[in-house]
């Protein structure tokens, strides 16, 4: 508890999501402690209460949680057994291990979602190249998507496999690393959508407008709010998001990424049981940001209004283009015609392709708003596209 | 400079203005160091880089400034000679001593404003009861307003003097404390207005809509944006604010408080050469908050758009009603009908009458928006009014 009686939220992990939670915590009077791996992690740089430790270490997690009224998470790469032990000694973890397992374990998630009638692509747990080939055969051919059930390796966890040779290579590599796999139908995507929902432990929810996430090479480049889709597609997406929030017993934000397929299907791609890149538009673009609502949900406080502050809000990620500092480009990027763009930098070193920040733009015209966000992002990162 | 090449802004003072500057600095990647008198000052609680020292001590200020790219201020109670010494050794102080003197020294300000043709109430520097009586005589009688030229005492610096006895008491007390005085015409006020302008060193400005500040017993209770005044009154107010920004060579925010008198005059009450209570509405209610624009102006970065995000924005101050913590009332205050209110707590101990935070509300109807803000403020502070 803070000296003035407010709760202290412990955040496991000190990346940009923790950093933006800290920003949201300040005006609410909420105390924040972060468990950082390094003192110069994104959130550790802006937090006066930093504990250095590992999210894999049960000892570190237990010691960290002792000083916190509620523990929440910057990412899902956390020792679930340790979180259960925190709960066993009376600590509060939100989202808790029950919820987190849906995000961490793809086989578990697909089984549970499928059993609940939620739309997931056809899938199978696979252990060998023969399993992958049999799965492809059942679906009528290649390619199929293969995912690591948990984590992944070399920073990758999703592969598009186009035939028996690739399947054999992947299965061999995965077996040698002890990585369990799941195969899924390859979906021909028309658009990718995301649904963000904040939820309190008792079931109250606050639902953001459905957004489109514009991906290139598997990386989110832009988010368009609201998504330019027919109302009935948005309504179906929201219904899926709501069902997932309830099924997973989410607390704080749960983000559901959806494929809207060329055939008109809506299929669940991934979920995140924490604030998510697809919700960064809400910092400037909604009455209450996803970070404030994550904290409010985790603390079991009433949730804030999720409506947009402008007809169109566009987020563009800042993806490192070179190893130069962003600093010299800042003034140029801010020199926008009104109404401007809102930069959000993560205080992370610049590396090619790394997400180092984002910008939000609000406007009355979707194309103009998007162009403004994209231009500012290009100026900040030094891209010439 | 931060490890990633961004400037470090040093803020002298660690009150709520510094705290809200820190919030604005995080997404811009700007480093912040605060000079705090105590480790539990409002801004020190949320800043990882705190130096303990006194804003009166030239030694402390010089040492503090050495690690900062730009020095700015949370309040004007700063040793001006020390700021000049910082500049003499190549440091950058924004606003600088030239600007600050207008806010710190009321006699200097009134003389300069008057010479520039700016509308100030009739005034005279006074040293004795006889001077005050002579001034009242010239204006046609009592009451007159008497102000301390600099600072004040016992937390007070403005007195309404209603006759010779009160004038004698005040003059005696002020003389015994070495406080120089200035007398001013008592203005019959219809409304109080404020103009907020952000300015860069080169003269570029960004101007917020004129607001009404609703005062009771000399304390600002609410701010209404935009001010409910005829357009020509707003235009005159803006012109005065612009002239002051230029005359004072302001950098960052300069706030001009104005009386709109019963006779229809617009008269300058006070100025603040930093973010100001009358601009807190901008955190949630404008495209760019006054805190972001203060930092941008101080860093000579391009300024952000100042337009409102809703037709009406209302700020209500949280004034301590008792010594209870705010925490138990938070959930109640957040349980607002949509679109909600945005609380901003300062992390300060609660004392009766002390400003401990504020709330902002956005809306389409001025009366409803104001009622919502006032109700949330009452819930948070435990007032029953």
Report ipTM (2 d.p.): 0.92
Six-digit token pair at B305?
A: 């758009």
Six-digit token pair at B325?
A: 């913590």
pLDDT at B337: 56
pLDDT at B338: 56
First-to-last C-alpha distance (Å) of chain B: 49
Q: Is the pLDDT of residue A61 over 80?
A: yes
Nearest CB neighbour to A301, from listed B6, B45, B331: B331
Task: Say if residue B143 is preceded by a cis peptide, omega within 30 of 0.
Answer: yes
Domains along the sequence of chain B with CATH: 8-93 (3.40.50.20), 122-185 (3.30.1490.20), 189-381 (3.30.470.20)
CA gap A363, B379 in Å, rounded: 34
CA gap B244, B254 in Å, rounded: 8
How would you write A245-283 as a 3-class SS string? HHHCCCCEEEEEEEEEECCCCEEEEEEECCCCHHHCCHH
pLDDT at A353: 84
User: Chain A contacts of B17, Cβ < 8 Å?
Assistant: none
Torsional class of B184: left (φ above 0), alpha (ψ -120 to 50), beta (otherwise): beta
Nearest in space to B193 (alpha carbons), one of B123, B265, B263: B265
Record: contact B326-A50, CB cut-off 8 A: no
Q: Is the pLDDT of residue A337 over 60?
A: no
CA gap B298, B200 in Å, rounded: 7
pLDDT at A351: 83
User: Chain B contacts of A305, Cβ < 8 Å?
Assistant: 338-340
CB of B4 within 8 Å of a chain A CB? The answer is yes
CB of A345 within 8 Å of a chain B CB? The answer is yes
Rg, Å, chain A Cα set? 21
pLDDT at B154: 66
Residue A249 and residue A197 in contact, taking contact as beta carbons nearer than 8 Å: no
CA gap A299, A199 in Å, rounded: 11
The stretch A256-269 carries a mean pLDDT of 97
Q: Where does the pLDDT of residue B35 fall: very low under 50, low under 70, confident under 90, or very high at 90 and above?
A: very high
CB of A343 within 8 Å of a chain B CB? The answer is yes
The Cα of B271 is separated from the nearest Cα of chain A by a number of Å equal to: 26
DSSP state letters, B292-318: HHHHHHHTTPPPPP--BSSSEEEEEEE
Q: Is the pLDDT of residue A130 over 80?
A: yes
Q: What is the average pLDDT value for chain A, to the nearest integer?
A: 94
Residue B207: strand, helix, or coil: strand
Q: Is the pLDDT of residue B201 over 90?
A: yes
pLDDT in tens, B272-291: 999 999 999 999 999 999 99
Q: Where does the pLDDT of residue B326 fall: very low under 50, low under 70, confident under 90, or very high at 90 and above?
A: confident
The Cα of A229 is separated from the nearest Cα of chain B by a number of Å equal to: 25
Q: Where does the pLDDT of residue B234 fall: very low under 50, low under 70, confident under 90, or very high at 90 and above?
A: very high
The stretch A179-188 carries a mean pLDDT of 96
pLDDT at A383: 76
Q: Is the pLDDT of residue A349 over 90?
A: no
pLDDT at A336: 63
CB of A164 within 8 Å of a chain B CB? The answer is no
Residue A173: strand, helix, or coil: helix
The answer to whether the Cα torsion of A52, A57, A62, A63 is positive or negative is negative
User: Chain B contacts of A6, Cβ < 8 Å?
Assistant: 325-327, 330, 345
pLDDT at B106: 95
Among A26-40, A164-178, B313-327, whose mean pLDDT is lowest? B313-327
The stretch B140-164 carries a mean pLDDT of 90
Interface of A with B in 233-272 (CB under 8 A): none
Nearest in space to A282 (alpha carbons), one of A218, A210, A331: A210
pLDDT at B217: 85
CA gap B69, B301 in Å, rounded: 13
The stretch B66-95 carries a mean pLDDT of 95
The residue length of chain B stands at 385
Nearest CA in chain A to B333: A302
Interface of B with A in 21-80 (CB under 8 A): 22-23, 26-29, 40, 44-48, 50
* Chain A with chain B: Cβ pairs closer than 8 A: 144
Q: What is the average pLDDT value for chain B, to the nearest integer?
A: 94
pLDDT at A243: 98
Residue B71: strand, helix, or coil: strand
């Amino acid at each position: 508890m803070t000296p003035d009686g407010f709760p202290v939220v412990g955040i496991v992990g000190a990346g940009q999501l923790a950093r933006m939670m800290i920003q949201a915590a300040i005006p609410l009077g909420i105390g924040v402690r972060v468990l950082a791996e390094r003192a110069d992690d994104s959130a550790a740089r802006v937090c006066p209460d930093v504990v250095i430790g590992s999210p894999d270490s049960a000892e570190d997690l237990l010691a960290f949680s002792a000083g916190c009224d509620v523990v929440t998470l910057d990412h899902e790469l956390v020792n679930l057994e340790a979180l259960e032990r925190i709960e066993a000694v009376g600590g509060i973890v939100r989202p808790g291990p029950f919820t987190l397992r849906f995000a961490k374990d793809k086989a578990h998630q697909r089984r549970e979602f499928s059993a609940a009638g939620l739309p997931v692509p056809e899938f199978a747990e696979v252990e060998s190249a023969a399993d992958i080939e049999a799965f492809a055969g059942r679906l009528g051919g290649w390619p199929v998507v293969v995912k690591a059930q948990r984590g992944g390796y070399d920073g990758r966890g999703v592969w598009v496999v186009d035939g028996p040779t690739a399947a054999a290579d992947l299965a061999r590599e995965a077996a040698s690393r002890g990585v369990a796999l799941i195969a899924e139908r390859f979906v021909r995507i028309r658009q990718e959508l995301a649904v963000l929902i904040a939820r309190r432990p008792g079931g109250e929810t606050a639902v953001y407008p459905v957004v489109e996430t514009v991906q290139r090479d598997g990386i989110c480049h832009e988010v368009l709010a609201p998504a330019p889709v027919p109302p009935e597609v948005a309504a179906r997406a929201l219904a899926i998001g709501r069902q997932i929030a309830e099924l997973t017993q989410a607390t704080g934000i749960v983000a559901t990424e959806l494929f809207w397929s060329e055939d008109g299907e809506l299929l669940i791609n991934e979920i995140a049981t924490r604030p998510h890149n697809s919700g960064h538009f809400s910092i400037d673009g909604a009455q209450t940001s996803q970070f404030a609502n994550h904290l409010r949900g985790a603390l079991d406080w009433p949730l804030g209004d999720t409506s947009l502050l402008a007809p169109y809000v566009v987020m563009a990620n800042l993806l490192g283009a070179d190893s130069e500092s962003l600093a010299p480009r800042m003034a140029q990027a801010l020199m926008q015609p009104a109404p401007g763009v809102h930069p959000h930098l993560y205080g992370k070193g610049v590396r090619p392709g790394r997400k180092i920040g984002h910008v939000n733009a609000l406007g009355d015209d979707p194309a103009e708003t998007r162009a403004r966000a994209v231009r500012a992002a290009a100026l900040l990162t030094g891209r010439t596209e």
